């Protein structure tokens, strides 16, 4: 997707503070961190949101989920974390490329706003 900001990060057209990258995903620091650790984990394939996931995307998404704990370790999280996926307007999704927020290194409130 040529006008997608996260696809531009994947293609190296926009810089990002990368934490981890492999064949299916990249993880980079959020520009506007909401916790001492705030990493975005995104599939390299452009998938707009969880509403757009196909059965064929299951291996990619499964791979991403299994890598989260490794990424958490890489950024020094030792006491738990929260994963958030915003979807659509009510979910306050602002970037239409599926991303998982990995938040940690502080005690997080529940429920979210
Ligand atoms: P969401 O509101 O769930 O769509 O989250 C989008 C996230 O992307 C926000 O937390 C933004 O701070 C973050 N963001 C937007 N542009 C960039 C960028 N160029 N590099 C890193 N994070 C970004
Ligand atoms: Zn994209």
Indicate which atom in ligand 1 lies nearest the CA of residue 28.
21
Relative to beta strand 37-43, strand 100-104 is antiparallel
Quote the pLDDT of residue 39.
Answer: 98
Residue located via tokens 């989260």: 68
Cα–ligand 2 centroid distance for 18 (angstroms):
16
CA 41 vs CA 21, 107, 111: distances in Å: 9, 21, 22
Q: Is the confidence at residue 113, as pLDDT, over 90? A: no
% of the chain beyond a pLDDT of 90:
96
Residue 19 binned pLDDT confidence (cut-offs 50, 70, 90) = very high
Q: Which ligand places an atom closest to the C-alpha of 8?
A: 2
Query: What's the rounded Cα separation, in Å, for the pair 70 and 73?
Result: 5
Residue 111 binned pLDDT confidence (cut-offs 50, 70, 90) = very high
User: What contacts 18, CB < 8 A, 6 or more positions away?
Assistant: 26, 27, 28
**Do the beta carbons of residue 37 and residue 58 sit within 8 Å?**
no
Mean pLDDT of 72-79: 98
Partners of 42 in the β-ladder: 26
Residue located via tokens 């915003």: 86
Q: Which residues line ligand 1 at a C-beta cut-off of 6 Å? A: 5, 14, 16, 30-32, 40, 86, 92-95
At 20-75, the pLDDT tens digits run 999 999 999 999 999 999 999 999 999 999 999 999 999 999 999 999 999 999 99
Catalytic residue among 38, 97, 99, 101: 99
Cα–ligand 1 centroid distance for 53 (angstroms):
20
């Amino acid at each position: 997707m040529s006008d997608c900001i996260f696809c531009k990060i994947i293609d190296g057209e926009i810089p990002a503070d990368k934490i981890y990258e492999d064949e299916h995903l990249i993880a980079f620091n959020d520009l506007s961190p909401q916790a001492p650790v705030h990493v975005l984990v995104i599939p390299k394939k452009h998938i707009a949101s969880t509403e757009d996931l196909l059965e064929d995307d299951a291996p990619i998404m499964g791979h991403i989920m299994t890598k989260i704990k490794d990424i958490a370790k890489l950024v020094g999280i030792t006491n738990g974390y929260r994963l958030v996926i915003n979807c659509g307007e009510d979910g306050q999704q602002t970037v239409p490329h599926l991303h998982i927020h990995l938040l940690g290194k502080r005690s997080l409130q529940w429920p979210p706003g």
